[in-house]
Amino acid sequence: MTKLIGGNISDTPIKNIGDGSAFSAGGAETDPLFANVELLLMPEVGDVSILDKSSNARTVTNTGPVSIVSDVNSPTGYAMNFGNEANLYYLTFSDDAGLKPGTGDFCIETIALSTNTTSGAGSMTGAGTVSSTGSTLNFPWFYDTTTGPLGYPGAVNAGCNNSNVASTNSGVTWNAGGYHHWAFTRSGTTTRVFCDGYEEASGTSTEDVGSTNWTAFLLGMWSLPSFRVFAGKVAMFRLTLGAARYTSNFSPFSEFPKA
């Protein structure tokens, strides 16, 4: 079930070339939920490869490869570049079973710039089989055209076990040329989608996420070999299990803490 809220998605990127005032300055020094962080990707100065900076330090397998690039528009100044829809660049991770949300609370969040232009394309994460009927966990699933199945611009879907549990309907085209903070949370059975700290959609989910159709947790597309490929850049990505983190509007930090 999906409840459409809408009306808060900004058509302005969270950081233009400038002061980045849309973020809480400087980030947070520590994360009280760091023990719940299963995956943390955040390229920084000096990084030569993409690393999991959670306490799990999972091995990252980089297919493509996804590159680390300098980007003045990224809150940290760096980003993971997934290229365009034809590139088929993606990441997978060791101890994949540990990334399954199950029936518990979770938070998938990212600071990213989507450049997808194909209707219905652009799921940043996925873990399902080749077809949409086998989807397992998909967010953000971007629509950047007015011709997508949902029929409005700038829609973002969140799915669990082939059930669309939250989708935005703001009536405003969010700026696909800028970075935005996206979060998909589940608290109890309530799912929420946030953009730049504003709740944009909510729904319900009781699925045991990962119990069926789970092949591998992917960052870069919905499912292998090339279904709904994400195009654009990712400044940060964090997966938290056992805690929803956000249940109401909040101010995103400019960096995800590493401790």
Q: How much is the pTM?
A: 0.82
Q: pLDDT digits over 211-242, tens only?
A: 776 778 888 877 777 777 888 889 999 999 99
pLDDT, tens digit (0-9, with 9 covering 90-100), for 22-44: 444 444 468 899 999 999 999 99
Confidence of residue 65 (pLDDT cuts 50, 70, 90): very high
- At residue 120 the predicted structure's pLDDT band, cuts being 50, 70 and 90, is low
Return the domain boundaries, the chain: 2-12+37-241
Tell me: the pLDDT tens digits for 140-182?
Answer: 665 544 443 333 334 555 555 555 555 554 444 444 557 888 8
Q: For the residues of the chain, what is the DSSP string, one character each?
A: -EEE--S---SS-S--SS--TTSBTT--S--TTGGGEEEEE---TT--S--B-STT-PPEEEES--EEEE-TTSTTSEEEE---TTT--EEEESSGGGG--BTS-EEEEEEEEE---STT--BSEE-S-SSGGG--EEEEEE--STTSTT-STT-EEEEETTEEEEE---SS---TTS-EEEEEEEETTEEEEEETTEEEEEEE----BTSSS----EESEEETTTEEE--EEEEEEEEEES----SS----BSS----
The fold adopted by the segment(s) 2-12+37-241 is: Jelly Rolls (2.60.120)
